[in-house]
Structure 1
C-alpha cells in the first residue's frame, strides 16, 4: 500500500494547537503524577457500542475476571445502539436459505473498490474472513437475525439484520452482566496514564459526568464530574467511536461539513478522546475521509426512521431528479458516490431527489419500519402515480418514459440476471427469486438527504488492535477497535461493514489484551 496516500496527523501535534486543542495541556500523564489509585481492574474498556461490548465478552472469555466497561453518556451503546445494525457477512445459513451464493473474496473486492484501495489489505482480509465465525458467535450470545439484504456497493445481498443496532448491543450487554462484567455510565476518560517505560497503566476519569446535549457545545469546556484514577493491570481498550457530531473538529478534515450539515450520529460522537490521543503522539490515518450517508431522509433530523424503507427502495426502486424527471445515479452505488450525486443535484436543499417504490417493493420492508417512516411523514403513500408526480412536482413526461425504460430493464434482467442497465451500469437483485418492477399501486416515495455518518480514519493498529505511535512503535498496554480506528475502510466504507469491523476487532482486542495479561501473570 502507498503510505504517501495517508495523512498521519503527526503534524497536528506540533502545529497551531490553539486551533485544534484550545484547552488541553500538553504532554502525557505519568503514573508518578497520580495521587492515588481509586480502583484497580484487570482491564478497562472505554465505549459501550458494538466494539466495546464485544471486547468485554472476549476479555472474560479468555479468563479475565475484574473488567469494567465505561461510557460517558447516561445511556449505553452510542451510535451502535440506534444504527441500522446490519452486519455484512459472506457465507451464512441465511444466505444459503435464500439461495444467495457469496464468497469472502467478493466482499474483499467490493470493500477495496469502495475504499479506492486505500484500505489496509491485511486488516480487510482479517475482518471479512472472520465474518462467519463472528456471525455464529453473535447468535450464541442471543442475537436473532431476521433477514439479509443488499447494501449499496456490495456484489451480493450480505447485509444481515437483527433490527436496529440495539438488537445486537443489548444481548451482548446482557451477556457481559451474566458473566460478571461491570458496566458503568456517566464516566468520561480524560487522560491515559503511562509508566516510565511508556506502558499504559491506567486512566484518569470523571465520574457522574453530565453530558451537555447541545450539538454546538465544546466538550472541553464541560468540567462536570468527580476526578478518579483507575488502574488497569492488563491494559486499556479504546472503543470510543467516531466524531461526526463534532462540527468544529470534523471541518478540520473536511471543510464542506459545516454546522448546517446534519449527522446521523448521537450527540456524544465528539472528538474529545481523539484530541487527547493526538496529544499523546498516537498515530492516525485517513482522517480526511468522512462518510455521508445517503440512506437517510431530508425530512427527518438525525438518523430518523425512513432509512429502512429507503434502503430497500434503492434496491427495488428508482430515484429521479424532480426537475428533469430522470435518474441521475446508479441507485445501488456506494455511499460516497451516491451522496455526492445527490448533493450535486440538490441545489443546497431546494431540490431533493424523489425515491420511488411500488407495493411489491415495499412488501420487502418490515411493516413496523414502514409504519415508523410514514408516521413521521418521511415516507409517503400514493394511490396513483399521477398523485405522486403532482405531490413532488416531477417533470411528468420525461419521468414516465424513464419509468417505462426502468421496468423494461427489470424485465430483461429477469431473463438474464447478468445484464446491467445501459445508463448507469446498475445490476438488479431478485427478492425471493422475483425481480421487482415499479408498476403496482399503491406507490411509496421518500426524499433522501445525505448526512455525516462515519469516520473512516482513526488510530492506526495492528490486526490484533495494538496501537502505534507516530514513530511506528507499539504503545504497550493500549488497544483500539471500532470506529475510532482507521485503515479498514479507506476512502469510503461499504454499508454493514462497520458493524463487522467493530465486532471482529472488538473480539480481537479483548483476546490480545487477555493474552498480554495472562502472559504477565505466567498463566
Structure 2
C-alpha cells in the first residue's frame, strides 16, 4: 500500500541571531527518506517516510493488516500524520494493534530523521475550537454505531424512516467489527450437504438450556426463528457467507456461519455501503457521546442529549430512539459492581473494544428502565495472554482441537459451554492452557485462523508453536511429552468411537498428522448478558413492566436473552436480528 498526500506546513520557529541577520527557520527534520517498522496485528507494519526540513512529504506503508479495519486505520493515520507533521495522533477505535504499530514505526523513522520525537508527541495548543450547540431533528435516532446500531439504521430506513446515528468512538463498528464473526442459524441449505441434522427446536433448546433457562423464552424464540431470515436479509444487502458451517467455541452444535470477509468487517461494510448510498437520509455522527435520554411530560422518549468535541448535540426523534451502545465488558468498575459469579475480575483482560463501557444501560436506568441479570458476565477460555484479545487463537472449529494444561493433560470437554470450560481452566495452574491442533486445521502455512492470521505468521511471531512430532511440540511449550502423547491418543480413540473420559461428543478428525501446533490461552471477559429489559418487539420496559413509549434497545446493551451463558455464535445472531427488528419497529411508530 502506498499513500502520498501533501502535508500542511509546520509552524515557523526562530533562533537567536546577532545584529540585523535575518531570522532563520529551525529544522525539524534532516531531509531524506527513512524507514521504520513495528509489529501489527498480522505482522510487521513497515513505513517509508520522506521529509524535508519541516514537513512529512510522503508516507508509504507496507503491511498485511486486516482489510476493511487495520488498513483503514493506517490510511487514516497516514493522512493525520501528514496533516499535523506530528506523532500526537488519535488511535483508531477497533484497530488498536494496527494504530500502535503505525505510531511505533513512524516514530522509528522520525528518530532516524533527527526529530525531537517527544516534542512531536505533544498536541499543539493552538486556538481553542469555538463550541456551538446544535439541534438535529429526525424520525429514528440511534445511540451506537456497532452491529446492532447500524443494522437498526438500515432497517429503519428500509421501512421509510429518516435516521441519525451517533457514536462516541472515532469509528463505527463497535465490538462487531473486531469479532470472530461466527453467526448461528439453522440453515438446511448449508447444513444438509455436510450431513448435519438441525432444527429450530434444537437451536431453541440448546440456547435456552445453555443459559440455565434464565433467558426469556419469548426472546429466545424470536432469536432462533429470525436468525436465518436475517442472514437472507444480510445477503440481500450484498454480504457473503461461506458455503459451509462449523462449530465455534461454545456453540454446542455445527450451525456457525462464517462471512467471506475477515473478522466482523463483512457486517459493518455491508451496512456502511447501504448507509453511504443513502447518506441524504441516514446521518452518522462520530465522536459524539450520548449523555441522557429526553423524556416528555407524558413519559415518551423523544430524543437525547449528547456531547461532541464541538459542543452539545440535541437530537429529536419523532418516531423513536434505539439504544444500541453494547455491553460493559471494558468497564472494570461496572464489572466488579455486578459480578457475583466469578472470582474478582479486576485483573482479567477483555476481548472488548475500549468503548464497551455500559453507557446505554446507565442512561436507561436513570429514566426507570428495567435492568436485568447484570451478574451474568461471560468469560472465555480463549484470551491472548498479553492482551486478552481473541486474536492469535489457533482453533478452527471445536471438533478438531483439544486443550491441555501445563502438565500436558486434558481437563475438560472442549465442546462444552463457555462457562464450564472457563471454570475448568481457572482451576489449572496459572489459569493457562494450550490449544493443540494438527495439519487438519492448517493444511498449509498460509491457512488463516478465524481472525485472518496465517499460522506461519503466528509461529513467526512466537504466538504459536510448530513441530513435526508431539514430543518435540511438548518440549517447545514446556509440558510433559508423555502426557501430551497420551492426551492425544485418548482423544483419537474417542474419534474412533471410544467413550471420552470428559463426555465429549463433538469430533471430526484425529490429531495425527504433522505438523502439530500449540497456542497459549487464558481466561478473558467477553460478553455481558445483562442489560436493558425488552419485549420481543425490542421495546424497553420500566421497572413495573410497562413499555416506555418511544424507546427501543438492541444488541449487547439488552439483558434476558442469553441467560447465564451465551452460546458461541449467538452474539452476532442477536445483534443483527434484534437490530433489524428494532429499526423496523421504530420506523413504524406514530
Relative to the length of structure 2, the TM-score reads 0.73
Q: Distance in 2 between matches of 1:260 and 1:70?
A: 31
Counterpart residue number, 2:148: 51
Of 460, 480, 484, which residue of structure 2 is paired with 1:399? Answer: 484
Aligned to 1:388: 473
CA distance in 2, matches of 1:278, 1:203: 14
* Contact kept? 1:296, 1:310, Cα under 8 Å: no
Report whether the alignment pairs 1:449 with 2:534: no
1:409 to 482, 486, 494: 494
User: Mean Cα displacement is larger for which, 159-168 or 268-277?
Assistant: 268-277
Structure showing the higher helix proportion among its residues: 1
User: Aligned runs of 1:14-29 on 2, under 5 Å?
Assistant: none
- Distance 1:272-1:37 versus aligned 2 partners, 3 A rule: same
**Which residue number corresponds to residue 369 of structure 1?**
453
- Aligned counterpart, 1:428: 506
- Matched residue, 1:3: none
1:160 aligns with 2:257: yes
User: Within 5 A, what are the aligned runs for 1:23-422?
Assistant: 38-64=135-161, 66-146=162-242, 147-162=244-259, 163-180=262-279, 181-208=282-309, 226-254=311-339, 256-298=343-385, 300-307=386-393, 309-312=394-397, 314-323=398-407, 325-347=408-430, 349=431, 352-363=432-443, 366=448, 368-371=452-455, 372-412=457-497, 421-422=499-500
Alpha carbons 1:81, 1:165 under 8 Å: kept:
yes
Tell me if the contact between 1:295 and 1:311 (Cα under 8 Å) persists in the aligned partners: no
Whether the aligned pair in 2 keeps the contact of 1:110 and 1:153 (CA below 8 Å) is no
Q: Which moved more, 1:82-91 or 1:177-186?
A: 177-186
Structure 2 distance, partners of 1:153, 1:265, is 18
CA distance in structure 2 between the aligned counterparts of 1:125 and 1:285, rounded to whole angstroms: 19
Offset, 1:49: 1.4
Q: CA deviation at 1:293?
A: 1.6
Secondary structure of residue in 2 paired with 1:499: helix
1:449 counterpart SS class = strand
CA-CA distance at 1:151 after TM superposition: 2.3
Residue pair 2:490, 2:500 contacting (<8 A) in 1 also: no
Number of aligned pairs?
A: 447
Higher radius of gyration, 1 or 2: 2
**What is the CA-CA distance between 1:279 and the residue it aligns to?**
2.0
Gaps of 5+ in 1: 1-34, 209-224, 414-420, 431-435
Structure 1 pair 90/258, CA: closer, same or farther in 2 (3 Å)? same
- 1:97 is displaced (CA, Å) by 3.6
Change (3 A) 1:340 1:155: closer
3-state SS in 2 of match to 1:450: strand
| CA distance, structure 2, for counterparts of residue 505 and residue 375 of structure 1 | 41
Secondary structure at 2:160 match in 1: coil
The 3-state SS of whatever aligns with 2:337 is coil
Note the C-alpha offset of 1:100: 2.3
- Whether the 8 Å contact between 1:106 and 1:155 is mirrored in structure 2 is no
**SS of equivalent to 1:193:** strand
The 1:143–1:92 alpha-carbon spacing in structure 2 relative to 1, beyond 3 Å, is farther
> Could you say what secondary structure the match of 1:58 adopts?
helix
Distance 2:417 2:378 in 1: 11
Question: 1:92 offset after TM fit, Å?
Answer: 4.5
Alpha-carbon distance, 1:452 to partner? 0.3
8 Å contact from structure 1 (residues 482, 506) kept in 2: yes
Cα deviation for residue 273 of structure 1 reads 3.0
1:168-196 per-position Cα deviation (integer Å, ceiling 9, x unaligned)? 11111111221332122111101111111
Tell me if structure 2 keeps the 8 A contact 1:305–1:373.
Answer: no
Q: Which runs of 5+ in 2 are unaligned?
A: 1-131
> Residue deviations 1:329-364, cap 9 Å, x none?
0011111111111111133x5xx2222111123339
Taking the aligned partners of 2:157 and 2:372, their CA distance within structure 1 comes to: 30
For 1:374 and 1:52, the matched residues in 2 are separated by: 37
